[in-house]
Amino acid sequence: MPSGQPVVETKELTKQYGRFVALDRLTMSVERGQILGFVGPNGAGKTTTIKILVGLARPTSGSARVAGADCVREARKLKRLVGYMPDTFGSYDNMRVGEYLDFFGAAFGIRRKQRARRIDEVLETAGASTYHDLYVEALSHGMKQRVAIARTLLHDPEVLSLDEPANGLDPQARIEMRLLLLDLAERGKTLLVTSHVLPELARICQRVAIITRGKLRAFGTLEEITRQLHPLRPMEILLTNADRIDRVVEVVKKYVEPGAEISPAPAEAVVRFRTAKREEELAGLLTALVAAGVGVTQFREVATDLEEAFMTVARSSESDEQEGELARNASEAEPARSASEGPISPTRQRGGLR
Amino acid sequence: MNPIIRRELLEVLRTRRAVALQLGLALGCALLVLLRWPTGEVADLSGARSMQVLRVFGYGLLAGILLLVPAFPATSLVREKMKGTLALLLNSPMRPWSIYAGKLGGALGFTAVLLTMTLPAAAACYALGGTGGEGGIGALYAVLGIATLQLTTLALLVSSRAQSTDGALRATYALVLVLCVVTLAPHALLRGKTGPLVESASWLRCLSPVPAVMEVLGQGDVGSHGISAGSGVFLRYLFLAAIFSVICAAVTVAGLNHKLFDRARSAGVMTEDRSEAGQFFRRVLFLFFFDPQRRSGSTSAWVNPVMVKEFRSRRFGRSHWTMRLLAASAILSLGLSYIALTGALGWGIEVVGGALVLFQVALLILFAPSLAAGLVSAERESGTWQLLMMTPLSPGTILRGKLLSVAWPLLLLLCATLPGYIVMMTIKPELIHQVRRVVICLGLTAVFAVLLSAAVSTLFRSTAAATTASYLSLLAVCGGPLLVWLGREAPFGHPTVEAVLTIDPVAAALQASATPGFARYELLPANWWIIGSACVALLVILAVRTWQLYRPE
């Protein structure tokens, strides 16, 4: 598949279990060599999405393609294109790592002569060369995660779906896992990674999908999502002292949009505000502050991280759900009035949020 | 109240399943008594009718206790250990003996409730008359009570040492078999002789509850001849079983400490990485091919990878264990034949043939569920089923590999016991037709046992539950009809016994080998048809369930 074309693509993907909607019209695409971070609270639909993409679950409606294979109609072809690492290791008792990988190699039809070499290669890639003769059940959690990565790589898949690969790892193992995933992406693998460790995910993912209650709430690069979530950039002015903080607030008011939120914090000698102004206009503000004789030590934009973005989306979706619930209750209580006024949208569509 | 008893007894008693079990048991016992309740105007003053009922009732209760009681305590401690809650309990102010008392009390309490549900039926037997005296109902309940204690303490001991729930179940049922049946063998073999060895064998057999129940029910002893059966087994059993239980309890309590969680991980040293002397020693000791520490080669393209995986992931599937088992089976089989050859015991060839059949069936019943009950359930429990689903292996290949991994060891096991039949045919060449029929029966039994356990395995997500259900189903089919056979003169008539035995593959094998007590029933070829049809039905269930589980959600 040529570079630049989506390797993973979903369209209106929906999965229902009875009346429960686990996944609601998910549409997204990921290009070759990218790492997509799947973020969401427990039960949000991350694992359901991954399971559909690897062929372990069937969507109720919509479509999904991975590396050109349809996830429903070409399930057999899909197995050779995707490597799946579930959140549980899945070990067999009394087996050594070499035997364990040999079984999966044989199951994928790798020829006997190539298999031994391939096992050494994937163990080397996963940083687990020394585990070959160890019993699988005797491995620590971090070691098992490495062996699981090796197992996932064994048949050289184009796409890797990793469910919580950093779960339960110590800080050093987490850093090593991060480097390993970046290395795999550099080798041209496309990775779908779910994780609750958001700072880790933010450091490796080119794209992030935030999903709550089965709905894709935000999708894109972290920068794009942040911009979508907060059209007004958070700024911070650090002063030498708080003596002239009121003067600073006055100057800032003249430059920013009317009614913009300005928060002076005298105790910290800081003034915080949000604005949509461009860099040139903000440079004018700084000049004005200096001209007014204010001692400015720092004038900067506050970076929004993935955790903050996630919390914003989570809160927003929660309030949407509550509003939707209230609206449903109201429509049930007053069906006649609702009918005359038209349907009430269960979710509020905001700019930037899906 | 001990919080463990509260959790493990009171909460279990509140479940619908427990209520259904109690009601079912009470109704079953009532039905049994109703069958023999006097309806005519003439009363049975000898009490023979009530004794007939009491015998079936007593053996039924004993069978129930032997089969059901070990299952719950066998998984009790090991499950807590695996979930990590045993570490929490040991870290609480509760002392080890208090934890043990809770576990023991929970298991004994539930069995006591079930036994209480049978009391009205026992009282009805008493009301019929003739069940008092030495072989009375009180003595029967005393034996059953102490047997419950004995088996529960044994199961808890195994559970405290086991590393997995299904492993604990297998080991417990194997030990129950040894305790209840194998302990009877030395006394039976040494019958007619005198000396300290015979006296020891006589005491050894009193570890089993079976002779005690037989004595209480006025049926002498296992394999006894006329009035030569020894007496006093009842009291000996109470004494020995109590000591046995105390020892088991003491060993278990002594082991309930932090050392359970303080085990070094295996370094995984391979024979190839040892010194030359070390390599030489191990290669001689394990005859090279059977060395468990030898680095295994890649799976060949010609064999089913699932079958190889199954062999490698089983402790007893590894070649060194398989070879040990085969050797032991061959030796035992030849030993039985030697007994027949020398005629040292005065046993006929038919009795030895029957013993051989029972030995093989015991091996089948013990090994088939232990190998097959985890075929699918273990994969689902450990999360490896979805890894299998992610491979290009078809459900048919997976199923074939799994069934082959059970079929091969069982086939080898059966073959290892065949030399006994060869010796018998050498002694009596006209037995060839009979041996052929027995081998067909045993082959069908093996296929049936494997398919039943494998089908049950697809119905459960927990291996322990699947193993228990497999053992119980298999024992119900193979052992249940034998309870009816025990009442063959009364209360059950010849046609009833024959009809019930027709579904039992063990009875068919015993009839084919002309074992005394079974020779007069016509069970073949009807039994082959029934078991064959059951095998086909089980195979269909197995295939459908595997396909269902393999499908995406």
> Which pLDDT band holds residue B491 (cuts at 50, 70, 90)?
low
Tell me which H or E stretch contains B153.
helix B137-161
User: A47, A54, A92, A156: best mutation site toward chain B, by most B Cβ within 10 Å?
Assistant: A92
Q: Min CA distance, B306 vs chain A (Å)?
A: 7
Chain B interface, best mutation among A15, A54, A103, by max B CB count within 10 A: A103
The pair of structure tokens assigned to B88 is 């929490």
Over residues B316-341, the pLDDT tens digits come to 666 666 777 777 777 777 776 676 66
Q: Which of B324-338, B344-358, B378-392 has the lowest mean pLDDT?
A: B344-358
| B390–A56 C-beta distance less than 8 A | yes
Count CB atoms within 10 A of the CB of residue B270: 16
Residue intervals of chain A classified under CATH 3.40.50.300 are 6-227
What pLDDT shows up at residue B482? 83
Decide the pairing of beta strands A270-275 and A233-239. Answer: antiparallel
**Cβ contact, residue pair B392, A103, below 8 Å:** no
Of A13-22, A228-237, A242-251, B503-512, the range with the lowest mean pLDDT is: A228-237
pLDDT of B39 reads 65
**Per the confidence metrics, is the pTM higher than 0.80?**
no
- Chain A from 42 to 71: CB within 8 A of any B CB: 51, 54-58
Is the alpha carbon torsion for A114, A119, A120, A126 positive or negative? Answer: positive
Cβ contacts (< 8 Å) between A151 and chain B: which residues? 387
**How buried is B382 (Cβ within 10 angstroms: 0-12 exposed, 13-18 middle, 19+ buried)?**
middle
For residue A312, the model assigns a pLDDT of: 75
Q: Which of B313, B376, B387, B551 to mutate to test the interface with A (most CBs of A within 10 A)?
A: B387
Q: Count CA atoms within 13 Å of residue B337 on its CB side.
A: 18
Mode of pairing for the β-strands spanning A20-31 and A6-17: antiparallel
Does the beta carbon of A130 lie under 8 angstroms from any beta carbon of chain B?
Answer: no
Q: Where would I find the beta strands (DSSP E) of A90-232?
A: 159-163, 190-194, 207-212, 215-220
Q: What is the mean pLDDT of residues A258-281?
A: 85
Beta strands in A18-67 (DSSP E): 20-31, 35-39, 61-66
Q: Which residue has the higher pLDDT, B97 or B71?
A: B97
Contact at CB, A91 and B384, closer than 8 angstroms: yes
Provide, as residue numbers in chain B, all residues whose Cβ is less than 8 Å from the Cβ of A109. 392
Chain mean pLDDT for chain B: 82
Residue from A195, A218, A205 nearest A35 by CA? A205
Least confident of A300-309, B284-293, B396-405, B421-430: B284-293
Q: How many Cα atoms sit within 13 Å of A320 on the Cβ side?
A: 18
pLDDT tens, residue by residue, A175-217: 888 888 888 888 888 999 988 777 777 788 888 888 888 888 8
Cβ pair A80:B392 closer than 8 A: yes
The sheet carrying A190-194 orders its strands as: A82-85, A159-163, A190-194, A35-39, A207-212, A215-220
Q: B28-44: string of b/e by CB count within 10 Å (b at 16+)?
A: ebeebbeebeeeeeeeb
Nearest CA in chain B to A114: B298
- Is the pLDDT at B468 greater than 50? The verdict is yes
State the pLDDT at residue B238. Answer: 93
Rg, C-alpha atoms of chain A? 25
Average pLDDT over residues A15-43: 87
Distance from CA of B132 to the nearest CA of A (A): 54
- How far is residue B171's CA from residue B162's CA, in Å, rounded to a whole number? 8
| Residue A337 pLDDT level (bands cut at 50, 70, 90) | very low
Chain B interface disruption, residue of A85, A93, A129, most B CBs within 10 A: A93
Which of A102, A108, A111, A147 has the highest number of chain B CBs within 10 A, making it the mutation to test binding with B? Answer: A102
**Mean pLDDT, rounded, for B355-367:** 80
Of B270, B308, B382, the CB nearest to A91: B382
d(CA B123, CA B116): 11
Out of A58, A91, A103, the one facing B553 most closely (by C-beta) is A58
Give which of B208, B166, B68 is closest to B158, Cα–Cα: B166
Instruction: Give the closest of A58, A93, A94 to B552, CB-based.
Output: A58
> Pick from B213, B216, B185, B187: which is nearest to B200 by CA?
B187
Task: Provide the CA B192 distance to its chain's centre, in angstroms.
Answer: 30
Distance between B445 CA and the closest CA of chain A, angstroms: 29
Listed residue (B31, B247, B54, B249) closest to B143, CA to CA: B54
Report the C-alpha gap between A189 and A160 in whole angstroms: 7
**Residue ranges of chain A assigned to CATH 3.30.70.100:** 231-301
Q: ω into residue A234 within 30 of 0, thus cis?
A: no
- 3-class DSSP state for residue B363? helix
B308 contact residues in A (CB cutoff 8 A): 103, 106
Among A101-115, B25-39, B321-335, B414-428, top mean pLDDT goes to A101-115
Q: Which residues of A touch B315 (CB under 8 A)?
A: 93-94
- Amino acid, single-letter form, for residue B162: A
Residue type, B429: P
Check pLDDT > 90 for residue B158. yes
Whether residue B539 has pLDDT greater than 50: yes
Q: What is the pLDDT of residue A342?
A: 35
**CA A275, A277, A279 angle in degrees (round to 5)?**
120
**What does the pLDDT read at residue B200?**
87
Residue B58, Cβ density class (10 Å: 0-12 exposed, 13-18 middle, ≥19 buried): buried
A273: closest CA of chain B, how far (Å): 50
- Region label for B288, one of left (φ > 0), alpha (ψ between -120 and 50) or beta (otherwise): left
Q: Check if the beta carbon of residue B104 is closer than 8 Å to that of residue B152.
A: yes
CA distance A273 to A281: 14
- Please state which of the ranges A144-153, B328-337, B398-407, B531-540 shows the lowest mean pLDDT: B328-337
Which tens digit of pLDDT belongs to each residue from B374-384? 899 989 988 89
Lowest-confidence segment of A302-306, B42-46, B198-202 by average pLDDT: B42-46
The shortest CB-CB distance from A94 to any of B295, B315, B384 is to B315
Residue A94 sits at the chain B interface (C-beta within 8 Å): yes
**B531: nearest Cα among B500, B504, B501:** B504
A354 pLDDT higher than 60: no
Res. B446 pLDDT band, cuts 50 70 90: very high
* CATH topology (fold) of A231-301: Alpha-Beta Plaits (3.30.70)
- The CA distance from B186 to B183, in Å, is 7
Put simply, the answer to whether B552 touches A108 (Cβ < 8 Å) is no
Radius of gyration, CA atoms only, chain B: 25
Is the pLDDT score of A353 beyond 50? Answer: no
- Ranking A62-71, B20-29, B340-349, B359-368 by mean pLDDT, the lowest is B340-349
Cβ–Cβ below 8 Å for A95 and B313 = yes
Interval A309-335: pLDDT, tens: 777 777 777 666 666 666 666 665 554
To the nearest 10°, the Cα dihedral for B231, B234, B236, B242?
Answer: 180
* CB atoms B299 and A102 under 8 Å: yes
**Is the separation of the CB atoms in B130 and B46 below 8 Å?**
yes
Q: What percent of chain B has pLDDT over 90?
A: 23
Q: What class has domain A6-227?
A: alpha beta
- Residue B86 has a pLDDT of 87
Q: For residues A63 and B355, is the Cβ–Cβ distance under 8 A?
A: no
Q: Taking CB atoms and an 8 Å limit, are A95 and B309 in contact across chains?
A: yes
Give the tens place of pLDDT for each residue, A93-112.
788 899 899 999 999 989 88
Which candidate from B298, B313, B391 shows the least CB-CB separation from A102? B298
Interchain CB contact of A104 with B (< 8 Å): yes
Q: Tell me which chain B residue has its CA closest to the CA of residue A111.
A: B301
